[in-house]
Amino acid sequence: MYPKIKKWIGVFVYPFFILTQVSSFAQSQTPNFDLAYHTTLNLNFKASKSILSSLESTEIPMSELYIANLNDVLELIFSEDEERYDVLKKNESERLKQLENTSTESPYIDFFRAEIKMQWAFVKLKFGNTLNGVWGLRNAYKITEDNIDKYPDFKLNFKTMGLLQVIFGAVPDNQQWILNVLGLEGDVENGLMHLKELSKESTPFTLEATLISSMIESYLLEQHEEALENLKNNTSNQKTMAEVYISSLILMKAHNANEAAQLLAEALENQEARAPLLFEYLLAEALFQGGMYNQAKTHYLEYINQFKGRNQLKDSRMKVAMCEYFLGKNTSFKQYWEEAKTTEGATSEADKNASAILEADALPNFKLLQIRYAIDGGYYTLASKAISKLNLEKLTIMEVHEITYRKARLAQLKSNYAEAMELYEEVTSNANILPESYFIPNSFLQMGYIKLEEKDNEQAKAYFNKVLEFKKHPYKNSLDSKAKIALATIDGAND
């Protein structure tokens, strides 16, 4: 039972949302607390712990426990270091015990208990402790429910509850029964509403609510421009490492890898900050999508050689091999390709995609992959040129339909909706030729988004419902959740 829901929650929540759990106590606390908070956001865990060790009492009770916990959790999320996990995991129960034993009457006590439970749940899921991870999310939900009953006017309750409602609401229909067994309810629209309301408040917590709601808008609702505008209005010019991370993820999701690359490169070059190794991987991805293969290879190799975890290593080795292929280095291409094949895959979506490509009976069509990655990154000129150079007569029937799908995506992203609809309809009319392919359901999903953009809600609903009819394809959980959320949004707007 639990592995199924873990598979979805794991893909959805980490590492994206763990950074947004930071409580912005800045300018309402002692100077040392503000410094510890800012240092944590810059992911300098050792320095932050040093500052916290000499911290005096603050206006918010037990808040030093929260920042100390955040240090542990962020370190583990980014490093994936199993030895550090074994050392630090005992801190969860010790901090929770301190909070439970305090005589202080304050809504912050249970708020911190719920947040600590939720943060460690994400860590446990990441390190494969599935049962305890899912149970931790349940405990966080129940603690927050009780705190809302006791302190209904305490707005921070709705930050925790809002995020949990979104997470559980996005769980696919075929796994919702598990939530019912656990006594949990999800509601993406309601959760996002709570988070957006918090982001509008003139409080120290505006930043974190903004980061959460922006991620949801981009990753679940496909509303990338709204997410970027939200970030632009509510984040600082002098970004912390946490803000750089979230901003980069959204920019890349919004097909703007070039701007993401600039942000990440600046962060890695900043001698005063401590950018995590994951930034090397993300920068490599952005450069790879733009066809800058020598530069991309350098950053992939830095990540491979230094990272102590497992995620993205299989994908990174495969991408290094592809860089060599595109650079015409056939011998090293074969070497890295074989290394990628024997690298143990992890739970990340990137590694799963890499496994599918590497385990195929034949080498992929690298020209088609180049087009796919260029479109993903927003390098539309590169993609168009690559498409124009293809000899369609040398492609298989499946590859011809894939090119039609890529042309549709390109037209949609360039706001040529009439052309995109025509091409998507050509793809969907060949469902019998493309069994178990994501091209068909994702075409229906994108057609739904186009109709939403054109304010044709009824036609949009028809397309979103078509997505849910497909029983088996590589991205079923993800596409079904997006379609389901879109349908709920339309129904909510019609109420």
Q: What pLDDT does 475 receive?
A: 78
Q: Is residue 403 scored above 80 in pLDDT?
A: yes
From the CB of residue 276, how many other CB atoms can be counted at a distance below 10 Å? 20
The rounded distance, in Å, linking the Cα atoms of 282 and 284 is 5
Q: Categorize the per-residue pLDDT at 339 as very low, low, confident or very high, splitting at 50, 70 and 90.
A: very high
Mean residue pLDDT of the chain comes to: 83
11 pLDDT more than 50: no
Q: Which CA distances in Å does 492 have to 165, 171, 187, 217, 464? A: 16, 18, 11, 16, 15
Mean pLDDT of 19-33: 47
- What share of the chain has pLDDT > 70, as a percent? 81
| Confidence at residue 95, expressed as pLDDT on a 0 to 100 scale | 95
pLDDT of residue 178: 67
Q: Is the pLDDT of residue 384 over 90?
A: yes
pTM of the predicted model as reported, rounded to 2 decimal places = 0.80
**Which of 17-31, 298-312, 397-411 has the lowest average pLDDT?**
17-31
Measured between alpha carbons, how far is 134 from 408 in angstroms, rounded to an integer?
39
Residue scoring higher pLDDT (44 or 345): 345
Q: Which of 73-82, 333-342, 423-432 is predicted most confidently?
A: 333-342
What the block records as the tokens of 324 is: 């060599």
The two three-digit tokens of residue 280, written as one number: 């090397």
So what's the pLDDT on residue 73? 85
What's the pLDDT at 232? 74
Q: 2-276 is classed in which CATH architecture?
A: Alpha Horseshoe (1.25)
Q: Provide the pLDDT for residue 25.
A: 43
Of 150-159, 203-212, 274-283, where does mean pLDDT reach its minimum?
Answer: 203-212
When pLDDT is cut at 50, 70 and 90, the band that residue 7 belongs to is very low
The CA distance from 12 to 219, in Å, is 9
**Domain-wise residue ranges, the chain:** 2-276
Q: How far apart are CA 64 and CA 70, in angstroms?
A: 10
CB 230 within 8 A of CB 210: yes
Higher pLDDT, 201 or 140: 140
> Is residue 418 scored above 70 in pLDDT?
yes
Is the model's pLDDT at 249 over the cut of 80? yes
With cut-offs at 50, 70 and 90, classify the pLDDT of residue 201.
low
Buried b (16+ CB within 10 A) or exposed e, 85-97: beebbebbeebbe
Long-range contacts: 33-42, Cβ < 8 Å, 24+?
33/58, 33/63, 33/64, 33/67, 36/64, 36/67, 37/67, 38/240, 40/67, 40/70, 40/71, 40/74, 41/240, 41/241, 41/242, 41/243, 42/240, 42/241, 42/242, 42/273, 42/274
Task: Give residue 4's pLDDT.
Answer: 47
